[in-house]
Structure 1
Amino acid sequence: IEALGLPVFATVPLVRDMPRQRPGAPPPILARDMPRGLAAEAFRSLRTALRFGLIDAERRSIAITGPTPDAGKSFVSLNLAMVMAQADQSVCLIDADMRRGQLARRLGLPDGLPGLSDYLAGDTELDAVLRPAPVGGLSLIPTGIYPPNPSEMVMRPRFAEMIEMLGRRFDCVIVDCPPLLVVTDAVIVARAVGATLLVARHGCTAPGEMAAAMRALDGAGRPAHAAVLNGFERRHARPGREEGYYGYGYEAAVRRD
C-alpha cells in the first residue's frame, strides 16, 4: 500500500476468538466487547494518527470506504467511532451505505428508523434522524429506507450542508460509505468531508484494486488521506487476487464488511 504512495495509519489484526453472542444478538463490537485486545489497540492507534493527521483538515469529518465489499469498511467505521467516543469525544457516525448499510442493527437499534435517506429527501429534520448509540458520546444517523437513487441523493446540496452542521456539533463525523469500485457514492461523499480513509483487507484486496480506488478519488480532486490494513494475519499471508466485478445491490448476499 505504501508503495502506491498511501500511508498506512493502522494495521488491524485478524480476530478469531470473538465473544459468544446469544442467538439473534448483533455481532460483537471489538472496541466495546474486547477492549484489551490487539485489534482494539490498533483502533486506538488509528484514533491517535487521525487526531494529528487531521489538524490541517478543513473539516473534522472522515469518509471511510474500501475498493470492494469485502474490505471491512463498516467494521473499521464502527470501531473507530467507538474508540473515539470512549476517549470522551462527541462522534456522529453516518451510515451512508444506502444500499446495504446495517450499522443500526450492529448497534442493537431497531430496523426501519428514519435516517439519512429521509433527511436528504426533505421528509424530516436532522435532529429526528440522530440516534444515541449505546455508548456515551456516540450518535448514529442510520440509512433510513433504502432509496432507488442513493448516488443522486448524496449529490444534493443538503448532504454537504448536513456535514457542515454536524461538524459544528460534534468533535468528529465519520461517514461509512459504499465501496469505491462498485458505486460512485464514496467519491461524491469525499468531496464533502475533510479526509478519506481507504480500507484494504489482508489477503483479499489486490494492489490493483487499491490503485484504482486511489485514482477514482484523485479524479474527484479529493485524494485519499491514508489507508487501514484490516484482518492482518502474518502466518497466512498470500498474494492478492486479481481485480474483478462485484454485485452490490438489493439482492440477498453474504456480508463480509
Structure 2
Amino acid sequence: MEFTPKNRATVQNMPKLPYAVEEALNRLRVNVSFLGSKVKKIMVISSAPDEGKSFIAMQLWRQMAEAGSKSILVDMDLRKSVMVDKYQIVREDNGKILGTSDYLASDDTLDKYVLRTNIGAGDLLPNKENIINPSMLLEGQKLASTFEELDENYRYTFIDAPPLNLVSDGEKIGSLCDGALLVVRAGETPKAMVRNSIRQLERAGCPVVGIALSRAKGAANGYYHKYGNYYGKSYYGKGYGYYGKHGYYGYGTEQK
C-alpha cells in the first residue's frame, strides 16, 4: 500500500566527508545499483560492534537519496541505537520522534512514523527508544508486513541491523531481506568470525551481496579511522576465497 510520510525532519549533523571518502561511497552506491532490480531490501550488518556498519548504512542511504533513488533507512538496531542523537535528527514541527520500536509495538500505520527528510529522495525510520529484548517485535507478523510495504514504496530499503555475534536479531531481520552488505573491520575481525557470519546469513536465507572492509590503516590524518573507510584490495589475501563470490567494495591503499 502506498503511503506519504506525515512528518518531515532535518538531518542537522550530516558530516561533510573528504573527496576520497565520497568517491569511495559513490563506487559503493554504483556497485549496489548493479545488483539488479530484485535486490531492494539490503541489510547492512557486521560480525562485531564498532566495525562501521552504521556509518556505511547512513552514507549509502544518503548517496542513493541524493542520486534520486527513492530510499529509506530503517534503524533496526533496537537495543543500542544512536542514530537520532548522533546525526541530530529533528522533526520540523519540533514534535517527538517516534521510531521503529514504537511503531512495531503499536497498531498505528507506517506513515505516522516514517520521516520525510532534507536529504534528496530519502526517508528515515529511526529508532529512538532502545529496548532490552526486542525478540517479540522481530518475530511478529508486523515486521514482515512492514518490509513488504516498504518494498512497494521505495527503490531501496537499507536496514541498519545489530552485530551478528552479539544477538540473533540480525538473522531474524535478514530472513526478510534480499541481501546483506557485510562490514568487516580491516585487520581486526578474525577470518573465522567472518566466515561464520556468512554462514549465519545464508542459513537465514539472506545472501551476502557484498563485503565492505572498514577502517584500513594508514589513512591520512586519522579521518578515515574516525568515520570508517573501505578499500578495494583483498586484505585477507590468498586462500580466503569468498571475495570472488561475494564481491568487495571501496578504496584505500593496499595492506602490506
TM-score, normalising length: structure 2: 0.74
Q: Per the alignment, in what secondary structure is the counterpart of residue 34 of structure 2?
A: helix
Higher relative contact order (CA 8 A, sep 6+): 1
Pair 1:48 & 2:35 matched: no
> What amino acid is the match of 1:127?
D
Unaligned runs of at least 5 residues, structure 1: 1-24, 241-257
> Which residue is 1:221 aligned to?
205
- Summarize the Cα distance change of 1:145–1:186 in structure 2 as closer, same or farther, 3 Å threshold: same
Matches within 5 A, 1:49-128: 49-57=31-39, 60-110=40-90, 113-128=97-112
> Which residue is 2:249 aligned to?
none
4+ residue segments displaced more than 4 Å: 25-28
Deviations 1:81-118 (A, max 9, x none): 01101101111101100111111223322496211111
Q: Per the alignment, in what secondary structure is the counterpart of residue 215 of structure 2?
A: strand
Please state how far the C-alpha of 1:37 moved relative to its aligned partner. 1.4
Deviations 1:22-64 (A, max 9, x none): xxx97653xxx12x5111111111111111113343xx11001
> Which residue is 1:152 aligned to?
136
Using the alignment, how far apart are the partners of 1:123 and 1:47 within structure 2? 35
> Which residue is 1:134 aligned to?
118
Aligned length: 209
TM-score, normalising length: structure 1: 0.74
- Summarize the Cα distance change of 1:92–1:56 in structure 2 as closer, same or farther, 3 Å threshold: closer
> What amino acid is the match of 2:126?
P
Deviations 1:130-168 (A, max 9, x none): 112331211111114223321331121111111111111
User: Higher mean Cα deviation, 111-120 or 207-216?
Assistant: 111-120
Pair 1:190 & 2:170 matched: no
RMSD: 2.5
- Summarize the Cα distance change of 1:235–1:65 in structure 2 as closer, same or farther, 3 Å threshold: closer
Unaligned runs of at least 5 residues, structure 2: 1-10, 221-234, 237-256
Whether contact under 8 Å (1:104, 1:140) holds in the other structure is no
Instruction: Work out the percentage of aligned pairs sharing the same amino acid.
Output: 27
